[in-house]
């Protein structure tokens, strides 16, 4: 049984998709906690309503990034996570924090990385005239929105698309992609090899 801690900053729809898939598909895992850096994050309400333990570590109460990350790490580790899932967690993380969770922290980013790290990805795809846009789940490394790629989902960019229409189309795919990737981790099917992720075949069902 793996412990998952999910970090959010807002709406939390990707967190919700992971929680629902875990429950519906009976993964060998449980959501140990949902933690937000914003007390008003909408996603906290969903987690509380499901009886999931929640915590808030408000970044504005800390003078430096290092102090905040240290407090966050302490809170996360109380829940003994096997995996930390960043789901719309809008913070740049310090290197020691990232190092502490090396190989056990995933992020979802709304672009086909390595294209468009950072913010404003949907508009960038539109402005560049891209025919295709997408989302990426990757292991978190010290460099923002980099790190070994687990899986990507693609959507077309359609004529007349705005940031809103494109992000809404992509979000539907994110809600399938992130549960898929987290489940692979939970089932021990991800191996990082020289910066690349290998997806292992599912374990054979054991017979007696
Ligand atoms: C998603 O688009 C995700 O890819 C990005 O931030 C957004 C979070 O949305 N990292 P939500 O909070 O999961 O609804």
3-state secondary structure 57-104: CCHHHCCCHHHHHHHHHHHHHCCCCCEEEECCCCCCCCHHHHHHCCCC
Residue 74: inside a domain: yes
Q: What is the CATH number of the domain that holds 101?
A: 3.40.50.170
Residue 207: inside a domain: no
DSSP state of 202: P
Residue 11: inside a domain: yes
For atom 12 of ligand 1, the residue with the nearest CA is: 12
How is residue 38 written in tokens?
Answer: 């914003």
Q: What per-residue confidence (pLDDT) applies to 179? A: 98
Q: What per-residue confidence (pLDDT) applies to 207? A: 63
| CA 51 / ligand 1 centre spacing (Å) | 22
Q: What per-residue confidence (pLDDT) applies to 39? A: 97
Q: What is the mean pLDDT of residues 168-191?
A: 98
CA distances from 27 to 18, 23, 86, 90, 183 (A): 11, 7, 19, 27, 7
- Looking at the DSSP bridge assignments, the partners of residue 86 are 7, 107
Residue 142: inside a domain: yes
Q: pLDDT tier at 203 (50, 70, 90 boundaries)?
A: confident
Q: What per-residue confidence (pLDDT) applies to 143? A: 87
Taking only the tens place, the pLDDT of each residue in 70-99 is: 999 999 999 999 999 999 999 999 999 999
- 109 counts as catalytic: yes
Name residues contacting ligand 1 (CB within 6 A): 8, 10-14, 87-88, 108-110, 135, 174
What SS3 state is found at 26? Answer: coil
| pLDDT, mean over the chain | 96
Whether the pLDDT of residue 32 is over 90: the answer is yes
Residue 123: inside a domain: no
The number of distinct structural domains making up the chain is 1
| CA 27 / ligand 1 centre spacing (Å) | 22
Q: What per-residue confidence (pLDDT) applies to 37? A: 98
Q: What per-residue confidence (pLDDT) applies to 205? A: 67
| CA 88 / ligand 1 centre spacing (Å) | 4
Q: Domain range for residue 54?
A: 2-109+137-152+174-198
Taking only the tens place, the pLDDT of each residue in 102-136 is: 999 999 999 999 999 999 999 999 999 999 999 99
Q: What per-residue confidence (pLDDT) applies to 206? A: 63
């Amino acid at each position: 049984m793996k412990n998952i801690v999910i970090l959010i900053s807002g709406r939390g729809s990707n967190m919700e998709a992971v929680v629902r898939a875990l429950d519906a598909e009976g993964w060998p895992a449980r959501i140990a906690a949902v933690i937000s850096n914003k007390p008003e994050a909408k996603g906290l309400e969903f987690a509380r309503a499901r009886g999931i333990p929640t915590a808030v570590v408000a970044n504005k109460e800390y003078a430096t990034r290092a102090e905040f990350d240290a407090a966050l790490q302490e809170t996360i580790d109380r829940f003994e996570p096997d995996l930390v899932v960043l789901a719309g967690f809008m913070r740049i993380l310090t290197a020691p924090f990232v190092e502490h969770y090396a190989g056990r922290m995933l992020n979802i980013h709304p672009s086909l990385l390595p294209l468009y790290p950072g913010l404003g990805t949907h508009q960038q795809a539109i402005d560049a005239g891209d025919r295709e846009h997408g989302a990426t789940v990757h292991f978190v490394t010290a460099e923002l929105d980099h790190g070994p790629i687990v899986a990507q989902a693609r959507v077309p960019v359609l004529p007349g698309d705005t940031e809103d229409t494109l992000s809404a189309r992509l979000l539907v795919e994110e809600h399938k992609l992130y549960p898929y990737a987290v489940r692979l981790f939970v089932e021990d099917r991800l191996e990082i090899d020289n910066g690349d992720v290998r997806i292992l075949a599912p374990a054979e069902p054991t017979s007696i």
